[in-house]
A and B are shown apart, each in its own frame.
Chain A
Amino acid sequence: MSNALLEVRNLSVDFHTARGTVHAVKNVSWSVNRGETLAILGESGSGKSVSASAVMNILDMPPAHIVGGEIFYDGQDLLKVSYETHRALNGKKIAMIFQDPLSHLNPVYTVGWQIVEMMTAHGRPADMARARALELIKRVGIADAEAALHKYPHQFSGGQRQRLMIAMALMLKPDILIADEPTTALDVTIQADVLALLKELQAETGMGLVLITHDLGVVAEIADRVVVMSKGEIVEAGTPRDIYHNAQHPYTRQLIGAAPGKGTIKLLDADAPLLLETRKLCKTYGEFTALKDVSLSLHRGQSLAVVGESGSGKSTLARSILRLEAADSGEALWKGRNLLTMNARDLLGMRREIQMVFQDPTQSLNPRMSVYQLISEGWDIHRLMPDKAKRQARVAELLEQVGLAPEYAARYPHQFSGGQRQRIAIARALALEPELIICDEAVSALDVSIQAQVIALLDDLRARLGISFLFIAHDLGVVRDFADTVVVMKAGEIVERGPTAQIFDAPRHPYTQRLLAANLDPDPDMQAQRRLAGAPA
């Protein structure tokens, strides 16, 4: 037997749900030692965090039920020890941090209290815990540690909260730190900082790190070993380099193939007529400036990407153009006419020509309407196609166009997977035969493999139907694959614009450079090179 510090052996967990028993993980085995980083890579539904939750004894049972297997820590099987023994290990020997620190920190207690509790819960005196907390808050890079102790979670930014979570996890110098998607909710530049912090702390303390992620880039950046999970099973294990260059399992190959940012860059057709133009759009919310003098133009057949981190104003831009939000000043010209001052009648016409695809199809499709009703609603609104037989034929046609079976028309959104739902949303947008589709983070909620399919679909629609796209995204890889022109936004302003090739190959603005540098490459060798190149800066 191996002598790993933490070892999961043949773990199987079932979930008892409304639709029967789901085998969440089947015969999963992995191990991690001191000083080592193991990545568990998988898409949603792969069961990648189930085994870690079992290690921490935080699976919800029911519906979860551990069918078999062992979890060895320091020679004892954690699945057999008493509740009290396991509790005493949690936090002290094995600690965990989570994806969304805002919901994982208790909103009604101060950060200091919560960090200190990590030690007092294990019987250490409070004053000692306080001193250690101060030291660690400083160590993770929070400016005024003393003040931070007395603040509440909502008073910090997302990146700071994750740093505080890390400080909390390290209070008792655990042997193992489990990090469940620790950077997924963060902007790329902050993700890079947090990953760097984790690496530094690991080097200092010598702890073992288990990192659960869906992101090949994160794996390339930080992991020593990786296990790839699909449908509850480990399909492949090895070093990141081996897996990336020499994947054996078809699923792994598909996953690597779907990683964005590898396609050929598109070129802009400069002669096409102007479709949409904004001039000095401004919008403030109280003190906060969401848009400041934003001017851009979009030509027929073009796909223009607006890139930026959270709070950059990119979504406000889309919402202002669509008049979901009233801009404070400026103009948005649609074929030469100002959208922002249009009367109700012209506005209705415009609403037929511009459609939008939202980030989360679960929320953008009314759960109480059938697919047929969803797609045909636009015709009701604009009094088009009164003939029912024609409508049914057209709905079937649209469903086929987005890669869904026509029989799906009678079903409801909850009966579909996330990727299928986004296809329905796209079919709905196509129903009115728009000239422009605005995609607001339309693929960021989807798994990588699904993401690639949806991007391919949008690309195909653009080529076949000549639809223009305003593509709002934070993921640079996706933007590189889809857009022909890129606009980079920061704090409500456009800092750089140009053809995609120019932005990616020769960025001029420091912010664009930082953004690109922070973007992780799925290829471990490339990522190692970039790390070296970026290190002096």
Chain B
Amino acid sequence: MSILARASVEDMEARLADTPALPPHRVIRGPEIGLTMLRGRAGGDGAAFNLGEATVTRCSVSLPDGTLGHCWRLGRDRRAAELAAWLDAALQQDALRPALLDAVVEPLREGQAGAAALTARRAAATEVRFATLQAMR
């Protein structure tokens, strides 16, 4: 769910092109846009406080056999929330799960991990290497 919550519609659709068709779904809630209250902690680890809100979109769908799929994601992308909820439901079907994990979830995970790793490498390039007097001796 966390990978699908971060994936764009375009990325999910592109990955779905090579998989068997998903079973039909019925939307049972949403997709609807609302707010979530973000919270921090005083000092980073103390009592919780409200930082401010963030937009969030949620959607729940069901498959013909009654399997439910859900998506909650930051932002206001209704199409992405519905598709992610549909995928969440499909991923609970034993027949579909391996193919979807291989063709959709794993490539999306790799893409997201790659982007995070690139940011980490760029940050690492800005780490200060102190040349103190002692080190120069």
- Answer yes or no: do A and B interact: no
B-side residues, CB < 8 A to A, are none
A-side residues, CB < 8 A to B, are none
